């Protein structure tokens, strides 16, 4: 009955694991994963549930017995059972009201939650499954009280064939509304490559003025505004992203051009190179060479020292760096991905073979390294839903798919589920259905952040037989990595691309890069570059060959040695340039500012905790100094300020109040005179030659002592 779903999604899928071959039990599990996280499951079950379902009488009794202890009946109980009234009699249902209305349980849970927030790691909450299971539910029901009575429209979408989320797509013309709210908004300058007006990840502002678009990767916050009606020009992206854009968004292929990685492409007189961004499959860092100036757009990326091996980045001066500054704050220091993954692996290792079901949270694109590593390490298959399979088929080889992936839940004890599935309510429900097979469920939630602070190690929440691990696995660079990256690139100008819609924010972001540790690896690398050219394309692929790994290790090791040598030289370097020489009164005034100082100072405390890279040396941390924006000579700040002024502020209704907006506008006017984006991003050299030089020098190791 679901074969259509599969056909629809992946032509390439040739798998024996069709849903048709699944048993009722297996099918039900698939069904559970595919259900909307926030909608009720009953309607679907109603139509499908065979008489011999998994929830046996015995189990139900147990559930009920356990619940009886907690049973408190009140009016809401009755209300609730009325809501349930029209549905199939679900034996486990009585647990819902009884738990639900036990305010003591709730209170206790909330208390413990608070405690959990305060204590750093591994919390064992002494609650029964039922107590835990009803937590999420209680909150939800409270929120949905008004909605729960209406017949949900989502049910309609879930007919039997389209059960896995995709409606059979209607071939409509897809005309976009002529009065799109975004269409006429000005393109923010941080989405434009100067001189040529290439648009990067700026589909929300698409406009007849622009016809050359780049998409760095397939995440909704970057392709936002891109629909199948796209006709404005050409979209350039990596082959994987191109496939996803065409398959998922149904953009007409004639508008999508895929650019092979690590190869120079000539587009409208501009040289363009796509390089692996180490973010999600298909994600690219893009290097543009425009009229002799280089601009590097990181898209979203996780810095890795291996990026220093990128051929195209050797020995060039980057004019503008468009930076994914997501975690640009010293509080975001989390371990390398490899650390997070090995922690996951060790948990799996420990629990394996104990009739444990493992769940791994995943976005539609991204975080797949976590479960693929499990697959490789233990040489096993991983269960995914058909939608996920469809996505995987866009970037995994058929060989790997066959080797590591299955759509039959009973073929694997490691299941990939949507991130939103990972709450105790869902897990508890799932466990009810598979108690006879699994004693325990262990879930992994890979995320770069957690409740306001980053986590250094896995955290564990336990409720009976259910465990949820928070895994500090991020696909963005952490603070230290950002700084290391920038100090290596030494751009003349940094253009932040995240959360940069007010001058204050941009200023804060930039303040983290005003003084960086020296980095000599670029120059020291050149002799080695020839050697590693061939490995460039496989730096981040899923399974580089052992010989390539070995080679990389050696190269990185030699870089490390070089860098250590250079650090010693650093102690008395000849001054390249004294920034104070060129100070003007104007810049003295402009470089006044106090923001960022405290944060910068606190950096030294965390800098040592994760020196983030296997190759980092004592350079990291020890050479870093608190940022002092009051120091005259901070030309970078001054120059960057021009950027903020030129950035077209996008009114952000959510964050900017009317009054504040006025302030911003005022400030904008003030700094406007004679300053255009062109001046900032690509000075023609007439007026800015000296400053340009000085900035370049300033970003190089500042002569100290």
Partner DNA sequence: GCGATCAGTT
Partner DNA sequence: CACAACTGATCGC
Which residues contact DNA by CB under 7 A?
A: 36-39, 139-140, 143, 147, 152-154, 165, 170, 172, 174-183, 204, 219-221, 225, 227-229, 279, 300, 326, 332, 363-366, 418-420, 423, 447-453, 475-476, 498-499, 653-654
**Minimum separation from the CB atom of position 348 to DNA (A):** 23
Query: Which residue has tokens 């968004």?
Result: 249
Is the Cβ of residue 511 or residue 552 nearer to DNA in the bound state? 511
CB 386 within 8 A of CB 164: yes
- Compare residues 154 and 338 and give the one whose CB is closer to DNA: 154
Q: Kindly tell me which of 395 and 528 has the beta carbon lying closer to DNA.
A: 395
Is residue 375 within 8 A of residue 381, CB to CB? The reply is: yes
Phi-psi group of 215: left, alpha or beta (phi > 0 → left; psi -120 to 50 → alpha; rest → beta): beta
Strands (E), 426-481: 440-446, 459-463, 466-471
Q: How far is the CB of 476 from DNA (least distance, A)?
A: 6
Task: Please say whether the beta carbons of 474 and 447 come within 8 A.
Answer: yes
Q: Burial code of 317-340, b = ≥16 C-beta within 10 A, e = fewer?
A: ebbbbbbbbbbbbbebbbbbbebb
Between the CA of residue 225 and those of 184, 197, 233, 251, 282, what are the distances in Å? 12, 18, 14, 12, 19
Name the residue nearer to DNA (CB basis): 48 or 185.
Answer: 185
- What percent of the chain is helix, strand and coil (3-state, nearest 5)? 45, 10, 45
Q: Which helix (H) or strand (E) holds 495?
A: strand 493-496
3-state SS assignment for residue 405: strand
**Tokens at 374, concatenated:** 């499990």
Closest distance of CB 692 from DNA, Å = 31
CB of 81 to DNA, least distance (A): 23
Q: Give least dist CB 485 to DNA, A.
A: 16
Length of the chain in terms of residues written: 705
What distance in Å separates the CA atoms of residue 510 and residue 489, rounded to the nearest whole number? 15
585, two tokens: 């009164």
Three-state DSSP string of 242-300: HHHHHHHCCCCHHHEEECCECCCEEECCEEEEEEECCCCCCCEEEEEEECCEEEEECCC
CB of 174 to DNA, least distance (A): 5
> SS3 string of 672-688?
CCCCCHHHHHCCCCCCC
- Nearer Cβ to DNA, position 366 or 517? 366
> In sequence order, what are the beta bridge partners of 496?
323
CB nearer to DNA: give 298 or 515: 298
Measured from the CB atom, is 8 or 551 closer to DNA? 8
Query: Whole-number minimum distance, CB 146 to DNA, in Å?
Result: 9
Measured from the CB atom, the residue of 166 and 677 that comes closer to DNA is 166
Element (H, E) at 525: helix 521-532
Q: Which is nearer to DNA, 162 or 626 (CB)?
A: 162
Least gap, CB of 395 to DNA (angstroms):
13
Residue 202 or 683 having the CB closest to DNA: 202
User: Which residues, 6 or more positions from 666, have their beta carbon under 8 angstroms from its beta carbon?
Assistant: none
d(C-alpha 439, C-alpha 465), whole Å: 7
Nearer to DNA, 158 or 492 (CB): 158
Closest approach of DNA to the CB of residue 203, in Å: 8
Smallest distance from the beta carbon of 182 to DNA, in angstroms?
5
| Cβ(279)–Cβ(291) below 8 Å | no
Instruction: Name the minimum Å distance from CB 327 to DNA.
Output: 7
Smallest separation (angstroms) from DNA to the CB of 703: 36
Shorter beta-carbon distance to DNA: residue 181 or 670? 181
């Amino acid at each position: 009955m679901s074969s259509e779903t599969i056909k629809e999604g992946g032509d390439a899928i040739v798998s024996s694991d069709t849903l048709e071959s699944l048993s009722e039990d297996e099918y039900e599990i698939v069904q559970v994963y595919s259900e909307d996280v926030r909608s009720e499951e009953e309607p679907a079950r109603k139509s499908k549930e065979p008489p011999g379902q998994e929830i046996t009488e015995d189990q139900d009794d147990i559930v009920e017995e356990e619940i009886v202890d907690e049973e408190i009946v009140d009016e809401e109980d009755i209300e609730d059972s009325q809501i349930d009234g029209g549905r199939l009699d679900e034996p486990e249902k009585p647990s819902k009201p009884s738990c639900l209305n036990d305010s003591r349980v709730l209170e206790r849970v909330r208390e413990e939650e608070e405690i959990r927030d305060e204590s750093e790691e591994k919390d064992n909450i002494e609650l029964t499954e039922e107590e835990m299971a009803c937590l999420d539910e209680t909150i939800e029901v409270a929120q949905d009280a008004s909605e729960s009575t209406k017949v949900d429209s989502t049910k309609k979408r879930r007919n039997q064939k389209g059960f896995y989320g995709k409606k059979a797509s209607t071939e409509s013309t897809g005309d976009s509304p002529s009065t799109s709210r975004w269409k006429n908004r000005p393109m923010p300058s941080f989405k434009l490559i100067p001189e040529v007006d290439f648009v990067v990840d700026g589909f929300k502002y698409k406009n007849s003025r622009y016809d050359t678009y780049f998409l760095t990767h397939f995440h909704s916050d970057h392709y936002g505004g891109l629909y199948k009606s796209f006709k404005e020009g050409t979209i350039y992206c990596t082959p994987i992203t191109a496939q996803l854009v065409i398959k998922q968004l149904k953009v007409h292929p004639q508008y999508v051009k895929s650019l092979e990685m690590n190869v120079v492409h000539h587009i409208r007189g501009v040289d363009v190179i796509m390089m692996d961004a180490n973010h999600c499959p298909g994600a690219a860092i893009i290097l543009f060479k425009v009229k002799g100036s280089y601009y590097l757009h990181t898209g979203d990326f996780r810095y890795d020292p291996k990026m220093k091996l990128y051929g195209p980045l050797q020995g060039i001066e980057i004019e503008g760096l468009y930076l994914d500054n997501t975690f640009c704050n010293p509080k975001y220091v989390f371990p390398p991905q490899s650390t997070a993954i090995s922690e996951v692996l060790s948990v799996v290792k420990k629990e394996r073979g104990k009739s444990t079901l493992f769940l791994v949270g995943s976005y539609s694109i991204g975080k797949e390294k976590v479960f693929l590593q499990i697959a490789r390490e233990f040489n096993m298959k991983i269960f995914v839903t058909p939608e996920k399979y469809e996505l995987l088929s866009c970037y995994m080889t058929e060989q790997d798919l066959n080797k590591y992936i299955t759509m039959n839940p009973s073929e694997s004890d490691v299941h990939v589920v949507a991130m939103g599935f990972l709450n105790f309510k869902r897990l508890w429900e799932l466990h009810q259905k598979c108690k006879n097979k699994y004693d325990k469920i262990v879930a992994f939630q890979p995320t770069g952040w957690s409740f306001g602070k980053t986590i250094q190690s896995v955290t564990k929440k336990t409720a009976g037989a259910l465990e949820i691990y928070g895994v500090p696995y991020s696909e963005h660079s952490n603070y230290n990595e950002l700084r290391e990256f920038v100090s290596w690139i030494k751009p003349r100008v940094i253009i932040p691309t995240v959360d940069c819609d007010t001058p204050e924010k941009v200023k804060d972001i930039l303040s983290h890069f005003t003084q960086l540790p020296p980095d000599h690896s670029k120059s020291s690398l050149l002799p080695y570059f020839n050697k590693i050219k061939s490995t460039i394309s496989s730096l981040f692929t899923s399974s580089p060959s052992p010989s390539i790994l070995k080679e990389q290790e050696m190269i990185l090791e030699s870089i490390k040695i070089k860098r250590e040598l250079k650090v010693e030289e650093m102690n008395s370097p000849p001054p390249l340039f004294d920034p104070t020489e060129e100070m003007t009164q104007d810049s003295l005034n402009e470089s006044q500012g106090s923001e960022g100082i405290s944060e910068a100072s606190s950096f030294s405390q965390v800098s040592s905790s994760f020196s983030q890279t296997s190759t980092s040396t004592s350079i990291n941390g020890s050479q870093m100094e608190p940022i002092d924006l009051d120091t005259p000579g901070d030309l970078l700040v001054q120059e960057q300020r021009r950027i903020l002024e030129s950035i077209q502020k996008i009114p952000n209704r959510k964050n900017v109040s009317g009054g504040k907006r006025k302030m911003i506008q005022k400030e904008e006017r003030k700094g406007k005179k004679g300053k255009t984006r062109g001046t900032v991003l690509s000075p023609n050299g007439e007026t800015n030659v000296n400053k340009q030089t000085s900035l370049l020098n300033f970003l190089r190791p500042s002569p100290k002592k």
